[in-house]
Amino acid sequence: MSTPGRISVGVLVERRKAASQWIDFVWQPVSVLPGQPDAEPWTVLAREEGRTTFYAGTATIELHPTDTGNYRDNLTSGRPSVWVALRSIDADPPYRLFAATVDPAEGEAFTETGTDLIEAVPMPELIREAVAAFIAEHHVERPFFKRKRDRANAEAGARRTREENNK
């Protein structure tokens, strides 16, 4: 499925008919599959009335030893997720698969552009096991250090005398 620190996932995206006068369709990542499916990106997998499911392509989830605390928080959240990012393009389909992550902080950072389509989808059991194994191997508890502010200099904000200004 992957090498340590890297997990390949196939991403499934759904296109639904929109109930809007401004757009025709709503696109949404709906799930990930462990591994690399043997299909071309944007292959149609299913068609139902008003909705179509596509295999959008393969993304690689990168795991870093310094982020294991975030991965652990994800796994213990009650709803472990994979964040999938689709980037808008001027083509058909109107998105390309941009990234996938199991780090909640990185998933949130994906939203900062304001133009990408981001969705947290359920994490499959095989991916959960791979992430848990990575955490078990690489996690190091890091103590929290509260930063102390420098003491304010009461004289720093005081008015200068005319002599001090003329120096």
36-51 tens-digit pLDDT: 989 999 999 999 998 9
* Each residue's pLDDT tens digit, 136-152: 998 777 777 777 777 76
**Can you list the residues of the chain whose pLDDT is less than 50?**
1
Instruction: Check: pTM over 0.85? Answer yes or no.
Output: no
Ramachandran class of 77: left when φ > 0, alpha when ψ lies in -120 to 50, beta otherwise: alpha
Asked whether the beta carbons of 41 and 27 are under 8 A apart, the reply is no
pLDDT at 135: 95
pLDDT at 119: 97
pLDDT at 15: 96
